[in-house]
Amino acid sequence: MEANFGFEKNWVRKVVFCLCLFLVLSAPLTCAGRTTLSTTTTGGSGGSIQKLEVQKHLKNLNRQPVKTIKSPDGDIIDCVHVSHQPAFDHPDLKNHKIQVRPNFHPEGKTFGESKIKASSNSKPITQLWHKNGRCSEGTIPIRRTKKDDILRASSVQKFGKKNQRSIPQPKPAKPLPDIITQSGHQHAIAYVEGDDFYGAKATINVWDPKIQQPNEFSLSQMWILAGSFGQDLNSIEAGWQVSPDLYGDNNTRLFTYWTSDAYQATGCYNLLCSGFVQINNDIALGASIFPLSNYGSSQYDISILVWKDPKEGNWWMQFGNDHVLGYWPAPLFSYLTESASMIEWGGEVVNSESDGQHTSTQMGSGHFPHEGFGKASYFKNIQIVDGDNKLRAPKDLGTYTEQQNCYNLKTGSAGDWGSYFYYGGPGRNPNCP
Ligand SMILES: *[C@@H]1O[C@H](CO)[C@@H](O)[C@H](O)[C@H]1NC(C)=O
């Protein structure tokens, strides 16, 4: 059994306005605030400096809501006016004009008003907080950041960012993968390399892998990459993740990520920094996905499409069949202002080997690919957007895993599944001690 999420395109129903924004920028506050603090606070008050920093950061992330919804999982979802979102604090997005719809869609969808029907009453639940309400048009749902979320990070500055200080060179033993390998991180991925990719799509099976240590995570995502794997890597990422450190629980959550300098100073998860412009009022980044797949029983998946608008150069993201979530504005990037040179799909976990053994943190469903449908997790209908702005199956799909006995991947191609693969594994087991 599969369930695909279908939605109504209510976001464009009446939206024909463009908002020109002149915002009082609060971005410089972080630096300015720190300077002031360290000069006015003398001796032994590191704690209060941190406290103020945390408060300031919270104030910057959590915008004045029009309405607040309490999700059954403890999340607070703030419906924030679309023009008040964090994106517009970005120095490169001063006077940015919000795009209310993409100029182009690789599946040939049109977003003209006449084609859009009024939203129906019955909408499938795809995120847990939908059980307790919805955000109205003109607002976007933002998962409220709590003080404890920030305190779990190693510093205020690192909160919401991938912890990736160095990016080792590709292993010479393996022919291709310019994969970002980081000690302790394990992957099972499929990838394509080339000169001009203008997007990617996949339908990803959703599970709740067990995480052994709170500082570990398990995610399943796609990466859209450009630039060298040195200091200037550009990356757009989206998928689902379980990350106790980031969210404070073991829930499976929808996430996005971006960076334009190999995870150093720029970018973040979700809306945890300025950059991504959200226009959709139904889907909250970082919110729990519902329902999830069960071993040997019901299977659920999410579809994610990311593509470049050839006119404006922005990278758009669609969730499910109809939810255009928003976009990463072109000015955020260097290499991705042209095209992507590599697309990757698959899983990643952190193996901290805290007890001297391989972690038992699971990838995908926690079961190996050979178990197949209903038991192993999958990516299906994986596609790229080519130089003609058309979606097609990737040619010459490569695969990469560090330790097949811990996590593995198996590709295939068939009928309505198109190009697909099963991936994942349990981590620690007799063959992965
Ligand atoms: C997450 O799951 C692990 C076991 O897999 C458990 O030890 C831990 O307490 C859970 N964390 C939270 C925040 O629920």
Q: What residues form DSSP beta bridges with 202?
A: 304
Residues with beta carbon inside 6 Å of ligand 1?
A: 210-211, 244, 249-250
Q: Is residue 163 part of a domain?
A: no
Assigned domain for 14 exists? no
Q: What is the pLDDT of residues 74-91, one digit of tens each?
A: 999 999 999 999 999 999
Task: State the pTM of this model.
Answer: 0.85
Q: Quick one: which of 65, 37, 237 has its CA closest to 135?
A: 65
229, part of any domain: yes
Catalytic residue status for 348: yes
CA distances from 414 to 12, 50, 63, 364, 419 (A): 35, 55, 46, 21, 7
Question: What's phi and psi for 212, nearest 5 deg?
Answer: -75, -45
The pLDDT of residue 45 is above 90? no
Q: What is the dihedral of CA 363, 365, 370, 371, to 10 degrees?
A: 160
Q: What is the mean pLDDT of the chain?
A: 84
Q: pLDDT tens across 345-394, in order?
A: 999 999 999 889 999 999 999 999 999 999 999 999 999 999 999 999 99
Within a domain: residue 400? yes
Please give the pLDDT value at position 172: 33
Instruction: State pLDDT tens for residues 294-351.
Output: 999 999 999 999 999 999 999 999 999 889 999 999 999 999 999 999 999 999 999 9
Q: How far apart are CA 390 and CA 247, in angstroms?
A: 36
Q: How far is the CA of 266 from the centre of ligand 1 (A)?
A: 30
Q: What is the pLDDT of residue 31?
A: 31
Domain that holds residue 234: 176-424
Considering only CA atoms, which of 401, 418, 402 is closest in space to residue 410?
401
> What pLDDT does residue 393 have?
96
Distance 249 CA to ligand 1 centre (A): 7
Q: What is the CATH number of the domain that holds 194?
A: 2.60.120
Question: Mind listing the pLDDT tens digit for each residue in 52-71?
Answer: 999 999 999 999 999 999 99
pLDDT in tens, 269-306: 999 999 999 999 999 999 999 999 999 999 999 999 99
Quick check: 221 pLDDT over 80?
yes
Nearest CA residue ID for atom 12, ligand 1: 249
Residue 179 confidence (pLDDT): 53
**237 given a catalytic annotation:** yes
pLDDT tens-digit readout, 90-148: 999 988 999 999 999 998 887 754 333 334 445 566 899 999 999 999 999 999 999 99
Q: Count of domains in the chain?
A: 1
Q: Whose CA is nearest to atom 1 of ligand 1?
A: 250
Q: Active site residue: 348, 353, 371, 402, which one?
A: 348
**Residue 213: inside a domain:** yes
